[in-house]
């Protein structure tokens, strides 16, 4: 049975941070499912303007951590800021964490980890403007392309996507 990764996103996700890791996961034979509070299509943000749209596969109420092997949280400033107000998103992150399943968050995506209260005592990284938030949540913040601590995988920016994607694929292979 092939592995499955849930991707939580909404309008304003950083285009490269959803599309590139998703492509790498699928190349590794891992199924991906995009879930969102919005139905139909969600629009990416690409270099300061709206980018490509991505089809939403499921609503938040249609997915459960028990049906997936890992979780991908793309960044972009708008995407995690909107998602952290969605109670179901936070519940899903907590469920993945309690099940000790890989959770990969990049750029501003770790904001969601803070909201789910899973950062305390963990080594993490993220976009420079959220590092104080990560520290205030009890995280040990590092400035490196990927930080792996237990089931959490975090990265800083689009340039880190190759290392970020590899870390998630490797975690799913274990």
* Residue 31's CATH number: 3.40.50.880
- Find out whether 119 and 94 touch, Cβ atoms under 8 Å: no
Nearest-angstrom CA–CA distance, 110 and 131:
9
107 is a catalytic site residue: yes
Domain region containing 80: 4-173
Model pLDDT, residue 71? 98
The sign of the torsion formed by the CA atoms of 149, 130, 166, 36 equals positive
Q: According to the model, what pLDDT value does residue 174 have? A: 73
Number of compact structural domains in the chain: 1
Which residues, in sequence order, are CB contacts of 134 under 8 Å at separation 6+? 110, 114, 119, 124, 125, 126, 141
Nearest to 167 by CA among 68, 31, 151: 151
Distance CA 46, CA 60 (A): 24
Q: pTM of this prediction?
A: 0.98
How many angstroms separate the CA atoms of 128 and 133, rounded? 10
Measured CA to CA, the distance from residue 85 to residue 8 in angstroms comes to: 13
H/E stretch holding 80 reads helix 78-83
Our CA angle for 48, 51, 52, nearest 5°, is: 165
Question: Which among 84, 101, 108, 157 is annotated as catalytic?
Answer: 108
Could you confirm whether 15 is annotated as catalytic? no
Query: In the prediction, which pLDDT does 100 show?
Result: 98
From 9, 103, 107, 153, active-site residue:
107
Per-residue pLDDT tens digits of the chain, which is 174 residues long:
699 999 999 999 999 999 999 999 999 999 999 999 999 999 999 989 999 999 999 999 999 999 999 999 999 999 999 999 999 999 999 999 999 999 999 999 999 999 999 999 999 999 999 999 999 999 999 999 999 999 999 999 999 999 999 999 999 997
The upper half-sphere exposure of residue 28, i.e. CA atoms within 13 Å in the direction of its Cβ, equals 20
């Amino acid at each position: 049975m092939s592995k499955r990764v849930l991707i939580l996103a909404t309008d304003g996700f950083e285009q490269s941070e959803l599309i590139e890791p998703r492509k790498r996961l699928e190349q590794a034979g891992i199924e991906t499912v995009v879930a969102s509070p919005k139905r139909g299509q969600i629009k990416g943000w690409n270099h300061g303007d709206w980018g490509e749209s991505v089809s939403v596969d499921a609503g938040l109420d249609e997915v459960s951590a028990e049906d997936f092997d890992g979780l991908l949280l793309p960044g972009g400033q708008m995407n995690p800021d909107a998602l952290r107000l969605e109670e179901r998103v936070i519940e899903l992150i907590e469920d993945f964490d309690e099940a000790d399943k890989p959770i990969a968050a990049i750029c501003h995506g770790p904001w969601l980890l803070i909201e789910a209260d899973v950062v305390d005592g963990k080594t993490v990284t993220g976009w420079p403007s959220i590092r104080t938030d990560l520290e205030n949540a009890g995280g040990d913040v590092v400035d490196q392309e990927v930080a792996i601590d237990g089931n959490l995988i975090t990265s800083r920016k689009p340039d880190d996507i190759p290392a970020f994607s590899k870390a998630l694929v490797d975690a799913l292979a274990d």
